[in-house]
Chain A
Amino acid sequence: MDGESRNATVPWDNAMLSPVDRLRSDRADSPTPGLVEGTEPGAVQRSAIFYHAQSYEDLTAEAENEAQRAPEPDRPQGHNEDEIDALVGEKSVERRLNNDPSSESSTKEEDVSSEAWRSHKKHVFVLSEAGKPIYTRYGTEEALSSTMGVMMALVSFVEAEKNIIRSIHADGCKVVFLTKSPLVLVGVSKTGQSDKELLRELQYIYYQIVSLLTLTQLNHIFQHKQNYDLRRLLAGSEYLTDNLLRRLERDPGLLLSAVTCLPLASSARDVVSSSLQAAKAKNLVFSILLAGDRLVTLVRKKDQFLHHIDLHLVFNLVGSSSSFREGEGWTPICLPKFNTAGFFHAHISYLEPASELCLILVSTDREDFFNMSECKQRFMERLSKRSAYQAMKEALKCPSYSVEQVGIPELRHFLYKSKSSGLYTSPEFPEVYQSDEEQERLMGLYQDLHSCLHHPTRPLRYFYRCSETENLLARLTSGFELYLCFSPLATKALAVSAVDKLLKWIRKEEDRFFILSPLTY
C-alpha cells in the first residue's frame, strides 16, 4: 500500500513519543485524504494496534471459508442444489421496530411455548453435536431440549448427504446454522439482517464460549464424553453471552470491527501510554486501559497483536461484571483470535474504587498475579506524579461530543472508522434518538447500510437512502468507512458535500479521538 510504504521509509525513533512533525504535515496535506489506507484521518503513525484491523472482509473470511461459501440468493436456482435455501418473502428494507418484551431478568423463566417467546426478534441457541442444549437466549435450556434436538437432526440429516446446512429462509424469518465442532450455533432472526451478518454474530458467541474454556478443552471434553452437559462448566457465564448479544445490537464497534477511544488530548494520552509502557514485566503481553466502553490506551509486546474481537470479548467481560470492583481480579482468559489453545491470565482492576478506569494486564503466566499487581502499582505511581491522570479524569466527565460541533446542518449522527488503525469515532446520540428503541432502530439502519456496502457479490462504495424519518449516506474507501445520518430535510447534494467537511473536521480532531502513536514494550 502506498501509505504503508511511505510510513516505512520514515525513520522512526522508538524512544520518541510524539510523531515527527514533517510527517504530520504530510498527512494533513494529502491530496486525497482517506482514499488511500494509512492516510485517512485517524490512521496510525506506527504499526497498528490490531491484528487484521484492515477490513471487515478479513474478519469474516474465516467464517466463510469454514462455511465454504456464503449463500447467494440471486444465483440461478439450479446452482443451489447443495443448499437448503427456501427463500420466502423478501428482505424488509426498513427494519420493523419489534415490540420486544425483553425485561432482562425474566427472560430465563419465559414459557417457551408462549407467543411472547416466539415473538422475540432474535433467538440464539447453542448445542453440542450430540444435540444437548448449552445456551438459549430466552427461556431455559431444559425446556428446549426437544427443539434443539430437531435442530441437530436438521444439521445431521444434511451432513449425511455430505452437505452443510447454512440457512433456512421462511415466513419473514431466517434460521442460520454455524457448525463449529464440537458446537453447533443456531440463530433465528426476524430482523432482516443478511445471513452473513447473522453468521458473524454467531461467530462472536462461539468465541465468547471459547474464551471461557479454550477450544482445546472443549474438544477434549467432547472427545471423552459426547453427551457431556457443557452447562456445568459454563455455569454463571450465561449473562456474558446475554450481554454480548445485547452489544451486538447496540454497539457500533462490533458492527464496524473497531473500537472507540476516550477523547483525550494526545499529550495526556501519550503520558498514560508511556507510563504503561514503563510498567512492563517479563510475561506481560498486553496492557489495556479502559474507560467504560472506551479504550484509553493499549500497549502491547512487540510483534504481538490483539484482534479486535478479542478486545471486544475483554470489554464484554469487564463491562458485564461487578466482580472486579471487589478487589484485584485474576482470571484465566482465552483470546480466541490470538490462540484458541491456551489461556492468558488477566489482572483486572479499577484504578480507584468508584472509577470508570479499568486496567487489564494480560500475562502468559498463571503465577504472575503479584508481578502484575506490582506493574499496576508502578503505573499508578508514575501516573499520579503527572498531570495526565487529572486530564484523564476530566476527559471522563465528557466522554463523548455532540454532533453540533461538526457544524454540518441537518447532520444528526455518524460513524467513522479509520481502517488502518481499527478505531472509530461517533458523536453522542442527539435528542431524536434518546430512547433505547430509537437507538436500536438507528443501529439497525446502520447495519443495513453496512450489509449493502459489504455485500458478498455486489459490494458498494456509495450508498444513499431516503426515508420518512432520516436520510442516510454510507461511503467506503480503502482508507475509511463512513455512515452519516441526516434529518429527512437534507438533500443528497448536501449529504455528499458533508463527507469532505466531516473528514476535515475529524482530521482536525484526530489527535483527541484516535490513538495515533500506539506503543509497544
Chain B
Amino acid sequence: RGCGPRSAGGSASCAGCASGWRPSWRGGDTAEQEEDGERERDEAACGARQPSAAEPARGDAGDAEDEDGARGLRERLAAELARGDSGDADEEDEDDDEEEEEGSLGFPAELPPLPARSALSAAEILRYSRQLVLPELGVRGQLRLARSSVLVVGCGGLGCPLAQYLAAAGVGRLGLVDHDVVETSNLQRQVLHGEARRGRPKARSAAAALRRLNSAVQYVPYRGALRPRSALRLVRQYDIVADCSDNVPTRYLVSDACVLAGKPLVSGSALRLEGQLAVYNYRGGPCYRCLFPRPPPPDTVTNCADGGVLGAVTGIIGCLQALEVLKIASGMGSSLSGYMLMFDALEGRFRNIKLRPRKADCAVCGDSPSVTCLQDYEAFCGSCATDKCRALQLLPGADRVSVQQYKALLDARVPHVLLDVRPPVEAEICRLPHALHIPLRSLQDRDQESLQRLQNRIGEEKQRTDDQTPLPVYVVCKLGNDSQKAVKILQELPAEEFGSVVAKDIKGGLMAWATKIDSTFPQY
C-alpha cells in the first residue's frame, strides 16, 4: 500500500493553515486533484445515509480503503467459501450479515443524543449489581455511564480489552474505528476477534463480539481510518475518546481533535514489554503536544510488528484505559490528568510520572495556538497513519535487487555473500541456510568479531572467483529497511581489508521472499 499523496486530508479541511505542513515529497496538481476527488466522493458518501450501489459509502475511505476493501472482500469471500464447505453456518454469520447493513453506512450522519435516564430497570439492576453497590459508582454513576458515549480509535490490542470492559460495564454508546481487517498475527493480543473473523473488518468484528457480550450498548463501527478531514466531526459526537491506535500520526491527530473539540483523551500505548497510559486534555491538564511538541524522526519509531508485543501487556494497558474512561464517564473523575502511568512488565512494576502542566505556548492547547484546525499528520510526522507501511527508501534503485532477481542469481550459482542483518531473536525464528548472520546493531557498532566473520566469508567466496569483478554482498532483513541501513555501512568499509565488494539490499526482505519465492518460508 502506498503512503503518499492520497493520505493528505488536512489541507482539504483547512487549506490555509495546512499549507505549512505540506510535505516536499507530495506531488503538485495531480495530488490535489486526487485529493479533491476523494473529498467530494467522501462528503457525498457521508452526507447520504443510503449509499448508491455504484459508490458504496464506506465512511472515510480513500483509495487505501478501497484497496483494503477489495482485500477484505477477497479474504471474506474466501472465508465464506471455506465456511460453506464445512457447512457450519452458525450464529456468528447472522451477526455479521446484520452488521453488514450497519457497517456499510460507514461514517453515519449525526448520531442522535443518548436519552437522559432517571432510573434503572430491574434487569439493569441485576446485570450491573456488582458495580452498583460500589458507593463510588452507585445508581447515579451507572445512569451517567448509560448516557455516555466513547470513541475507541483502534480495535486492536488496546481497543479490544478496552471496549470489552466498557461494553460490559454498560456504557451507552461505543464508536469503534479501525481501517484494518483481522489477520492471523492479530489474534495473539486482539482478543475480541476470533479465528473465524480473519479477513473481516476489525470494527465490525469487534462490534459483533461486543454485541454478544452486551446487546444494550449501541455500537457504531466505523470501517475506515480516522482522517483529519472527518476526525473533528466524529470526535464532537462523543463524550470521551480513547486512543488505542498504533502509529504516531494518528496519536497527534486524535490529540489535536480532542483539544479542538474539548474532549478528554485517555491514551494508551504498548510495545514489547512496556506500556504507557495518560489522560490528556482533561481538567486543565496538558495535551499530547504539550509533552511531545515535535514528532520523532520516522526511523526511530518502533511498531508492534517490528518490536513485538505481549498480548497480556496490551491487555493490561487497555484495561487501565477502560478504568480511566469509566471513572471519567461515571463522574468519579480521573486522577491521571498530568501523570503518565508506566508499566514495566519485565520488572512487574508501575511508575507514576508527574508530567509537566499544560504548556502555555503549546501549538494547539496553548494561549495563542497556531493549530486551530486539523492538519496533515502524515506529513507532520513524515510517516504513514498505519503501523504497516514502513518501506524506507534509503538507497538508490541501483543499489537494490528484487527477491526475483536474487533468486535468479542464486539459481545461476553466482558467487556472492548473503548477509542477514536481523536481530538474533528473529534469525532464530527462520533463516535462509546459506546466509551469514550479523545483526545490524553489530555492524553499527563496528563489532570487530562480526566484521572479521564477514571478512572471512568474503575471502572464502572470492577464492571461488578468478575474475577481477567486485564480489556482490546481498543484504537481507525482514522487510527491506534495516538491510538498506546495513548496505550504507558496508559501503563505508575499507576496501583494503574487505577487498572489492559491491553491497546491495534485497527489496522487501525475507517477507517478500516468503510471499513471492518460497511460500513455505515462515511469515512473522
Q: Do A and B come from one complex?
A: no
Which B residues are closer than 8 A to A by beta carbons?
Answer: none
Listed in ascending order, the chain A residues whose CB lies under 8 Å from chain B are none
